A = this chain, B = another copy of it.
Amino acid sequence: MAEPATATQAAAPAVSLLKDELDIVIPTIRNLDFLEMWRPFFQPYHLIIVQDGDPSKTIKVPEGFDYELYNRNDINRILGPKASCISFKDSACRCFGYMVSKKKYIFTIDDDCFYLGFCYYGQKLNPLIVLMGDLDTLVQICVAKDPSGKAINALEQHIKNLLSPSTPFFFNTLYDPFREGADFVRGYPFSLREGVPTAASHGLWLNIPDYDAPTQLVKPLERNTRYVDAVLTIPKGTLFPMCGMNLAFNRELIGPAMYFGLMGDGQPIGRYDDMWAGWCTKVICDHLGLGVKTGLPYIFHSKASNPFVNLRKEYKGIYWQEEIIPFFQQAVLPKDCTTVQKCYIELAKQVKEKLSKVDPYFDKLADAMVTWIEAWDELNPTGPVPNGKAA
């Protein structure tokens, strides 16, 4: 056996970062063998597993992980009629995990994503090596490395992103000024150098990029092999397509905005759950003076989803987003919206007013947004709960 301890040791100092303040939320329909890949990095953390689909099926979680698991029966039992706001047969169900968490930070990841990232052999980027060898060896040889050969840790990078401020009001050309070896460049106003709290950290994907069905169909063989060694704040007033595959956020600062909408079973669209959450989150962050970062860390996305199935799920969204995005770009929240909850309820009202004419679905979605906040507040009463932000 090779020396699996190498990777583990390299990652050791990072592993315990925020150990008692962060939950890892994973939506799944299958046994969680993929967790073996992440063992050195995830094992110290608490996992919240949201089981989608048939609740009678038993999901196998590898030994040694500390987790709680919720299936549809649990969701119905805990939320009662309000369970209607949680999607079924769609990974959007993950947001139930955000709601039941009692931690300050959330990291969420899909169950087809490997931490491993990519490997440098000499100067060659070689992501496919992760598909070979036994698991211990994989972890040893394939822990993601930056171009200098230093091992990196996805979760550690998200935590760094979340713990350092964001700079949404002015662009820094050397990217995140809070990273080691970087700073604000000449011409950056000193009054803005303190930054603002970071609410969300959006990580990227090597190998299978997060493309829509039409692009998947047109470019079936395209793989992302470009490692961009950057983290940057998405400027105020700019929307972005937030992907839920590799995402971390500060639950106290922005949790109630991370609603993944109504997707999957009985709904006219899918694959817009994270997009919806991203649009709402960004508008609210901009209003409340919070930051959103994107860039590092990369995860290795192993399996492309079926583009034909995706097209069926997406086609209405592709059409609707042409109206949804201008809606969010123009959305203005009144000054008295001083909490995420108030902002979200206000957004729900505006969705009902302005998007219902696009399709009756948005009327239903606006109602679900309100239900989501009611359920959130029920499970997270403000005031006495240490993690709850005073409303």
Give A residues with C-beta under 8 Å from B: 120, 122-125, 147-149, 170-175, 179, 181-191, 202, 204, 209-212, 215, 219, 222-230, 234-243, 271-272, 274-275, 278, 294, 314, 318, 321-322, 325
Residues of B within 8 A of A171 (CB): 234, 238-241, 294
Instruction: Report the bound CA distance from A222 to B241 in whole Å.
Output: 34
Q: Are the CB atoms of A238 and B241 closer together than 8 Å?
A: no
Residues of B within 8 A of A272 (CB): 187
Instruction: Report the bound CA distance from A34 to B79 in whole Å.
Output: 70
Q: Are the CB atoms of A209 and B271 closer together than 8 Å?
A: no
Q: Are the CB atoms of A228 and B175 closer together than 8 Å?
A: yes
Residues of B within 8 A of A225 (CB): 181
- The main secondary structure of chain A at its interface with chain B is loop
Instruction: Report the bound CA distance from A222 to B180 in whole Å.
Output: 10
Q: A123-B148, A185-B211 are in contact. Are A230 and B228 (CB under 8 A)?
A: yes
Query: Nearest B residue to A237 by beta-carbon distance?
Result: B237
Q: From B172, B202, B223, B275, give the contact of A186 (CB < 8 A).
A: B275
Q: Are the CB atoms of A325 and B243 closer together than 8 Å?
A: no
Instruction: Report the bound CA distance from A153 to B189 in whole Å.
Output: 32
Residues of B within 8 A of A271 (CB): 186
Q: A173-B241, A189-B325, A243-B186 are in contact. Are A228 and B226 (CB under 8 A)?
A: no
Query: Nearest B residue to A219 by beta-carbon distance?
Result: B183
Q: How far is the CB of A163 from chain B (nearest CB, A)?
A: 20
Q: Are the CB atoms of B173 and A240 closer together than 8 Å?
A: yes
Q: How far is the CB of A172 from chain B (nearest CB, A)?
A: 8
A229-B229, A230-B230 are known contacts; what are 8 more A-B pairs with Cβ within 8 Å? Answer: A171-B234, A171-B294, A179-B226, A183-B219, A185-B243, A186-B215, A186-B275, A187-B321
